[in-house]
Amino acid sequence: MTEPFRSFTVPLEPTAVGEARHRLRDVLGRAAVPPAVIEDAALVLSELVTNAIRHARPTPAQEAVVEVSLAGAALHLAVTDGGGAQVPVPVSAPLADPGGRGLALVDLLTDRWWWENTAGGRTVHAVLGLPAAR
């Protein structure tokens, strides 16, 4: 991963999802990222932060770290949380189920995504392609 051009923390609580989306839209808007990519990235980040809230082990800071990087034709998002025993895997939940489809959306909207265990917990990465400059 290239060095993030923006990094911020959000609390591991439901209000963090909207806060993360707002901050991401602001950062990417200032970087002249196309609006359609910003909206896809905001949805992806919403899912990653939601998963951090639902599945992270409690940490002393009770925060997740969001890193945003732009390199060439790619936007890289990373969310680091306290980790947990559950491996992040997309599931095909029935439509009546109120949850469980977040990573399936991430899979559809990104070029690739993956996760890794880190010293402080777990990081989930997602890469979205950027359109070529005209």
Tell whether 1 is covered by a domain.
Answer: no
For residues 106-112, give the mean pLDDT.
Answer: 94
Cβ–Cβ < 8 Å for 87, 102 = no
User: How many domains does one find in the chain?
Assistant: 1
Per-residue pLDDT, 60: 65
For residue 105, the enclosing domain spans 6-129
**CB within 8 Å of 3: residues ≥ 6 apart:** 69
Per-residue pLDDT, 109: 95
pLDDT tens readout for residues 67-108: 999 988 999 999 998 876 556 655 555 554 555 568 889 999
Is this model's pTM higher than 0.95 or not?
no
Domain containing 117 — which CATH number?
A: 3.30.565.10
Tell whether 86 is covered by a domain.
Answer: yes
pLDDT tens readout for residues 4-47: 689 999 999 989 999 999 999 999 999 999 999 999 999 999 99
- Rounded CA-CA distance 71/31 in Å is 12
